Structure 1
Amino acid sequence: MGRRRELGSIASGIIGSFRSRNNDVDGYWGIGKLYLFVDHLQSKCVSIDLCSQRIAPYNPHFDLMTECYSKMFKGLLIKRSIPLEWIRAAYVYVEFEADYEERHHNWRSALGNPCNLVCVVVDDNGKSHVARAYTNCFPHDAKRESRSIR
């Protein structure tokens, strides 16, 4: 039987994978595609519910990515013998055009605007297990990017 404290490690694994360049949508970096989607909206935030496989704001273009991360989350729970009943909620939040934080965004280490990512897993005792990641990105532009062929 797993332990609830392992939920922090699971959140860290999810957010690390979500941040990586291997998170692709149609062969392009998923975060850049999400940024392009919300670029014209007033709120520059995206929320993905890992339990119900829903993304807000909704766009069917991201259904496969949402399903993939939901399955990954549930697979990690199974791998660590953590019952699904222990999970009250699990979300990935992405905030684009975030305030620059010198210790997190490492100016000039990556091009683009600061972006904050958070994975929150709330257990049945009401405790939140949180993992954070930081990156910089531009909205997706197929003319500037190379498409993955995998």
Structure 2
Amino acid sequence: MEWLHAPWRIQYILAPKPPPGDGSLFTRIAQSNDDEANLVVARERSCFALLNRYPYNGGHLMVVPYRQVAELGDLTLEELTELMQLTQRCVTALKRVMNPDGFNIGLNLGRAAGAGIEEHLHLHVVPRWYGDTNFMPVLADTKVLPEALQETAARLRAALQMLPR
């Protein structure tokens, strides 16, 4: 078995977390009007998409229902459908903007499965390129992203606006 180590994620793990009862990070972003500061790239009726501030790779998006639910079975049919439709649009936009060789797409449900925000499910869309795992994270404890998050968000926002809904 091979192991993929992601030491750059320690910033997220060690970052201060809001007190319980304030709603999830995603609930606060959903209610905010500052999409640029929150790296939101698209909003639909029941869900939205944003760049991960602590990405595994450049272009790492998360698609999130507005309603805070922890379990896939708690989504309505409308939320579930729109979650997948927005994911599909995000993949298309990422292909146009970043030209990846493939994608990892998935949910981490529950702490044991690796959910960092377990109270609010979210779908990860991670673009992948041949050779995107290299010596920098392993030897230098550094993840190289090809452009600033705000620039990636702006390019994806523009690409998503051009796609049919």
TM-score, normalised via structure 1 length = 0.30
